């Protein structure tokens, strides 16, 4: 069984219970990590608190160099990291390399730069306003982007001068261990970064409730986020939450329908649909609706489901049996409520592995379960509308507000509609994801922002010095 990384050393857990790490493509157990114990959390937080005064006082240039060295080492090990993620999480290898590994390396490098360049002082009236690191940060991260979501929290926290205790998802934890090895090799001072594996109700809750944790940054389900926030409120610690989504892909009548549907289907099915910002609702004008359904079905049938290490695979397995069963329940629920299954379904495409066929529903009406709730699988709902007002109302008609898209004949029109969407990020006519732009949600999709300078600001306190 692996160990924990606390105070600059690999350390045995106070818990002797192992957690199996399962390859979702083969269902084989490939590793074990400690279940973790509250005593491990206490030790890690103590190490982080001891390290904070020196690390927060370290010259920005020195912090920048360490983060830059780590980014370079991550790039050098990108192939191995991608294989790790493809094995314990199930992403197709090409996606695991380009998006799950090289994009986080880019983000890490961006924070190496921001560690030096981000302004920390300004003058307001007779005051000098300074920005200081918030303190000890607990980062709780999910399994769907097991390295990227870690980097989105750990990199800005370290750049700001904070120290970190990381609890990665126990479902796909191996990338976190590989990153800990990188931080150790580049010489990050002891206690600045700590890793405690384990389950949310034990390790996660202990971190959220610990009085010496100054901030908690959590990515996961909205239900779990509410629990984290409630525990954190007892000690009035800062909370950043990146939660669920049910993003709308709004295609206006004058848009390039074929392109909008093609890109929309790809966005919905990326990472086997296990993406919080996926455009899982496609809104199409009734005049074009049947054509859009036909296109979506043809496209879905072209997505090969299979082994993440097969170059022809476009959709790998879901991360676990529990996740597969969850998605199957939603597919059944969609049919029970009257939506029309036009592609995919609940049949297992392979004897072994947690696979689900890319699935498309037509005749989806606002208010249906599959239109309202986050499924987190390769399931697309096509929803007709008759007017722009109705389309905007449908797009805004869930408890979420994380991402979305608008397609129109002109950028000007698309922008006008995008400004009306209550969501944290909107792609205009297929604008690509920007890893340096702020990412986060409205409503129950979360609190705070990640990436770029906005992500760094989350880990800074503001102090006014009256002169």
298 tagged catalytic: no
Element (H, E) at 238: strand 238-242
Determine the angle formed by the axes of helices 60-76 and 78-88, rounding to 10 degrees.
70
Nearest Cα to Cα of residue 35 among 127, 242, 217, 173? 173
Q: Of residues 276, 374, 450, 458, which has the active-site annotation?
A: 276
Distance from C-alpha of 405 to C-alpha of 407, rounded to nearest angstrom: 7
Cα separation, 12 vs 40, in Å, equals 9
Do β-strands 460-466 and 127-133 pair in parallel, antiparallel, or remain unpaired?
A: antiparallel
| Residue labelled with tokens 């029309």 | 340
Which residue out of 46, 152, 162, 242 is catalytically annotated? 242
Q: Which of 436, 437, 446, 440 is nearest to 108 (CA)?
A: 436
The reply to whether 357 belongs to the active site is no
b/e for 257-295, b at 16 or more Cβ within 10 A? beebbbbbbebbbbbbbbbbbbbbbbbbbeebbeebbeb
Q: How far apart are CA 173 and CA 126, in angstroms?
A: 49
**φ and ψ at 121, to 5 degrees?**
-140, 150
Residue 158 CA, distance from chain mean position: 19
Q: How far is CA 317 from CA 101, 102, 146, 245, 374, in A?
A: 19, 21, 15, 21, 18
Q: Which of 75, 96, 148 lies closest to 270, judged by CA?
A: 96
Q: How far is CA 329 from the centre of its chain?
A: 23
Tokens of 45: 């937080």
Residues contacting residue 390 through CB under 8 Å, at least 6 positions apart: none
- Rounded to whole angstroms, the Cα distance separating 20 from 25 reads 15
Query: What is the distance between the alpha carbons of residues 346 and 324, in angstroms, rounded to a whole number?
Result: 10
Give the whole-angstrom CA distance, residue 400 versus residue 218. Answer: 16
Active site members: 242, 276
């Amino acid at each position: 069984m692996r160990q924990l990384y606390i105070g600059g050393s690999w350390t045995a857990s106070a818990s002797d219970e192992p957690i199996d790490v399962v390859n979702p493509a083969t269902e084989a157990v490939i590793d074990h990590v400690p279940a973790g114990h509250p005593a491990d959390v206490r030790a890690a937080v103590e190490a982080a608190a001891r390290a904070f005064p020196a690390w927060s006082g370290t010259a920005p240039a020195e912090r920048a160099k360490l983060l830059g060295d780590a980014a370079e080492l991550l790039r050098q090990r990108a192939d191995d990291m991608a294989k790790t993620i493809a094995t314990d999480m199930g992403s197709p290898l090409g996606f695991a390399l380009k998006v799950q590994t090289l994009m986080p390396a880019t983000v890490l490098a961006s924070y190496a730069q921001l560690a030096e360049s981000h302004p920390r002082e300004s003058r307001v009236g007779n005051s000098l306003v300074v920005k200081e690191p918030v303190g000890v940060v607990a980062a709780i991260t999910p399994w769907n982007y097991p390295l990227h979501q870690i980097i989105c929290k750990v990199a800005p926290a370290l750049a700001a001068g904070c120290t970190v205790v990381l609890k990665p998802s126990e479902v796909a934890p191996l990338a976190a261990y590989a990153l800990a090895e990188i931080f150790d090799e580049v010489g990050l001072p002891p206690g600045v970064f700590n890793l405690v594996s384990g389950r949310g109700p034990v390790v996660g809750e202990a971190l959220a409730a610990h009085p010496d944790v100054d901030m908690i940054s959590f990515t996961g389900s909205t239900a779990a986020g509410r629990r984290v926030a409630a525990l954190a409120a007892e000690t009035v610690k800062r909370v950043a939450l990146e939660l669920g989504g049910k993003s709308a892909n709004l295609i206006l009548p004058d848009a390039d329908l074929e392109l909008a549907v093609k890109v929309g289907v790809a966005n919905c099915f990326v990472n086997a649909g296990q993406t919080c910002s996926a455009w899982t609702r496609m809104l199409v004008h009734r005049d074009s609706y049947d054509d859009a359904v036909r296109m979506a079905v043809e496209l879905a049938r072209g997505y090969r489901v299979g082994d993440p290490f097969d170059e022809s695979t476009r959709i790998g397995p879901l991360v676990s049996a529990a996740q597969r069963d969850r998605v199957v329940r939603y597919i059944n629920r969609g049919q029970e409520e009257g939506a029309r299954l036009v592609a995919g379904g609940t049949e297992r495409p392979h004897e072994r592995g947690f696979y689900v066929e890319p699935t498309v529903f037509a005749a989806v009406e606002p208010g249906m379960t599959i239109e309202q709730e986050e499924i987190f699988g390769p399931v697309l709902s096509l929803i007709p509308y008759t007017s722009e007002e109705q389309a905007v109302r449908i797009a805004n008609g869930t408890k979420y507000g994380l991402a979305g898209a608008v397609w129109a004949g002109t950028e000007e029109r698309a922008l006008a509609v995008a400004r009306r969407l209550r969501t944290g990020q909107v792609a205009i006519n297929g604008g690509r994801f920007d890893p340096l732009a702020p990412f986060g949600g409205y409503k129950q999709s979360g609190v705070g922002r990640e990436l770029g300078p906005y992500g760094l600001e989350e880990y800074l306190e503001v102090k006014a010095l009256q002169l």
